[in-house]
Structure 1
Amino acid sequence: MTAEKPRLHVLLAGPRGFCAGVDRAIRIVEEALKHHGAPVYVRHEIVHNRFVVEGLERKGAVFVEELSEIPDPTRPVVFSAHGVPKSVPAEATSRQMYFLDATCPLVSKVHREAERHSARGRHLLLIGHHGHPEVVGTMGQLPEGGVTVIDDAEAARGVLPPAGVPLAYTTQTTLSVDDTAEIVAILRARFPDMEGPAKEDICYATTNRQAAVKAVAARSDLVIVVGAPNSSNSVRLREVAERAGAARAVMVQRGGELDPAIADGCATVGITAGASAPEVLVTEVLDRLRERFDITVEDVTVAIEDVTFRAPPMRAFA
């Protein structure tokens, strides 16, 4: 006689998974492959998810870190959703390369804000993580020395921007909403004349996914975040879950990585996914839990998203 599986209640956070910017970026690569054939080169991971990247590689996409790695400059190249410094399209143009820019439109908005502040003589305080591709891309919109990156509250307390220069701030789009609010408050207290964005730069998808994970974390013994360790928004989801009341929060990239025994002794488990993780990976995690538990699933939805971004048209090229 088969032993009865222990019961486990699963709270599925909504929204979760793909955002409009990620969906658009993937569509651009797929349309380029359809229109121009393989190979299509992509500078940096199109989005931070190995499942997505490997799926596009099987279709003929080739991922590189720099344009100099592309052996055939006559083939199309796509810039990732995170955005690139101005020097990258300038290099592509100088080499007469056909390129498609898959930068998320909300990241492009931050780029335009940064340029506007710089044009008005302001030094930019960029709240974000050193070395993240989005931060590198935003810094690359301005002259060298025009940006100071603020990683955290401690950095905000100690930053010494150029004396006598007006200040403005902007943010990476995938930060913790709560952490960013704290950093902005510190900066405003120190620099009350600092200019800010007309509208919050943390994107709607990041904000919604963090609100959703807070809603499930408060009721969960464990929260599982489906996402990649180099995905800023996924890492933030795990941090937010822990702060919002979950006894434990873990991140996995695939269902196969998850040891379902991690949920032993739990009554309720929350599940969410970063903005670059497709829903099929959430299904994998649910299936993995079903191997050990008799699960019931409850959707916990805090917002309905209907945002879409149009992909650029494909054109013929020599």
Structure 2
Amino acid sequence: MAGKPPLRVLLCAPRGFCAGVVRAIDAVERALVLYGPPVYVRHEIVHNKYVVEGLKAKGAVFVEELGEVPAGTRAPVIFSAHGVPKSVPEDAASRNFFAIDATCPLVTKVHREATVHYKKGHEVVLIGHAGHPEVIGTMGQLPPGAVSLVETAEQARHFTPRDPENLAYTTQTTLSIDDTAEIVAILKERFPAMVAPHKEDICYATTNRQEAVKKVARQVDAMIVVGAPNSSNSQRLREAAEREGCPNAALVQRAGDIDWSVFGAIASLAVTAGASAPEILVEEIIDAFAERFDVEVETVHTVEEDVFFPLPRQLRPDAA
């Protein structure tokens, strides 16, 4: 259509759903098929309003605490992908709930690491963001006071362990690769004996999406990260774009949230999506730009992903 200014759109790949998010959403949908509504879900199954509202429409009921689930219910109660403290499954068992754990296996790996370190007598340092459900879940694997949370490089410089020769660290799975590397470097310099994870805790999807953003950040006038404000990995994508020199990076949930005073006069745009953002929202945002611009979309691939996690045991076909 004549009159539209041209816009080159670089679409980051990989982007969007990771294997842990796919597994968690599939777990809720599978439970709804097998057992019918309602299916109770503790906390947002993943941090995306569109996904949560879609599951609500199918019969999922989201609660923050198990006390909100009706006593004596036989409906499944699902724990979110972010993981939960040990006290939550114990509480579910005491209430005789049919509990299904949809914790991402990569988060479960961090839980196990923290537990092993603790059993070996290490003081456990967790690098992560206070108040995030994943951090609450990891810290909740161990007794109060057993885990020390370090959020920033500044905190790492001033952290005082009980025994500097007996430290181990784990990290939240959705952190900034660069920020975490800086924090780890500071801790290792101060405490050379500190034990590292056997394998990097920051998950493959977080790493891959940040690397894709870094590749395109300097090639465009602006970047949109499709994701929710409470999504840690989505916020880290926005920060990565800014750090790499993108003049304007914004976290946007839906097309209706685009600030056209900022994005209305650009010649190039990169688009990516956090690990809990569905592809339909990416398409919605590109469509919104296509109404205002003559859009040419180019996909920028950095790595192929083929990770798959099977459903929780109770929801697999052989469980019946």
Q: TM-score, normalised by structure 1?
A: 0.97
Who is 1:286 aligned against? 286
One-letter amino acid of the structure 2 residue matched with residue 245 of structure 1: G
Deviation at 1:161, TM superposition (A): 1.7
One-letter amino acid of the structure 2 residue matched with residue 62 of structure 1: V
CA contact (8 A) 1:128 1:150 kept: yes
For structure 2, the residue ranges without an aligned partner over 5 or more in a row are none
Give the whole-Å Cα distance in 2 for the aligned partners of 1:85 and 1:312. 18
Kindly indicate whether residue 42 of structure 2 is the aligned counterpart of residue 31 of structure 1. no
Equivalent pairs: percent with the same residue? 62
CA contact (8 A) 2:165 2:194 kept: no
Task: After superposition, give the CA deviation of every residue in 1:154-173 in whole Å (9 maximum; x if it has no partner).
Answer: 11011112146611000000
Give the whole-Å Cα distance in 1 for the aligned partners of 2:227 and 2:257. 11
CA contact (8 A) 1:256 1:284 kept: no
CA contact (8 A) 2:164 2:191 kept: no
Kindly indicate whether residue 57 of structure 2 is the aligned counterpart of residue 58 of structure 1. yes
Give the whole-Å Cα distance in 1 for the aligned partners of 2:197 and 2:84. 21
Give the whole-Å Cα distance in 1 for the aligned partners of 2:194 and 2:312. 35
One-letter amino acid of the structure 2 residue matched with residue 68 of structure 1: G
Give the whole-Å Cα distance in 2 for the aligned partners of 1:301 and 1:149. 35
Who is 1:157 aligned against? 157
Who is 2:205 aligned against? 205
Give the whole-Å Cα distance in 1 for the aligned partners of 2:26 and 2:221. 37
Who is 2:69 aligned against? 70
Give the whole-Å Cα distance in 2 for the aligned partners of 1:160 and 1:78. 38
Deviation at 1:309, TM superposition (A): 0.3
One-letter amino acid of the structure 2 residue matched with residue 206 of structure 1: T
Give the whole-Å Cα distance in 1 for the aligned partners of 2:245 and 2:15. 19
For structure 1, the residue ranges without an aligned partner over 5 or more in a row are none
Deviation at 1:28, TM superposition (A): 0.4
Deviation at 1:260, TM superposition (A): 3.9
CA contact (8 A) 1:260 1:292 kept: no
Who is 2:248 aligned against? 248
**2:219 counterpart SS class:** coil
Rate the CA distance shift 1:283–1:261 in 2: closer, same or farther, 3 A. farther
CA contact (8 A) 1:21 1:104 kept: yes
Give the whole-Å Cα distance in 1 for the aligned partners of 2:217 and 2:275. 18
One-letter amino acid of the structure 1 residue matched with residue 124 of structure 2: L
Q: How does 1:91-106 map to 2 (within 5 A)?
A: 91-106=91-106
Who is 1:15 aligned against? 14
**1:218 counterpart SS class:** helix
Who is 1:90 aligned against? 90
Give the whole-Å Cα distance in 1 for the aligned partners of 2:163 and 2:306. 44
Give the whole-Å Cα distance in 1 for the aligned partners of 2:10 and 2:136. 36
Who is 1:312 aligned against? 312
Deviation at 1:3, TM superposition (A): 5.4
Q: How does 1:40-59 map to 2 (within 5 A)?
A: 40-59=39-58
**Structure 1 residue runs of 4+, over 6 Å off?**
none
Task: After superposition, give the CA deviation of every residue in 1:219-269 in whole Å (9 maximum; x if it has no partner).
Answer: 011000000000000000000001112101001101121144532332210
Kindly indicate whether residue 143 of structure 2 is the aligned counterpart of residue 136 of structure 1. no
Deviation at 1:313, TM superposition (A): 3.6
Deviation at 1:74, TM superposition (A): 2.2
Rate the CA distance shift 1:79–1:50 in 2: closer, same or farther, 3 A. same
Farther-moved stretch of structure 1 (212-221 vs 8-17): 212-221
Deviation at 1:56, TM superposition (A): 0.2
Give the whole-Å Cα distance in 1 for the aligned partners of 2:302 and 2:136. 32
Deviation at 1:113, TM superposition (A): 0.2
Task: After superposition, give the CA deviation of every residue in 1:72-125 in whole Å (9 maximum; x if it has no partner).
Answer: 432210000000000000111111110100000000000000000000000111
Give the whole-Å Cα distance in 2 for the aligned partners of 1:28 and 1:91. 21
Give the whole-Å Cα distance in 2 for the aligned partners of 1:103 and 1:226. 23
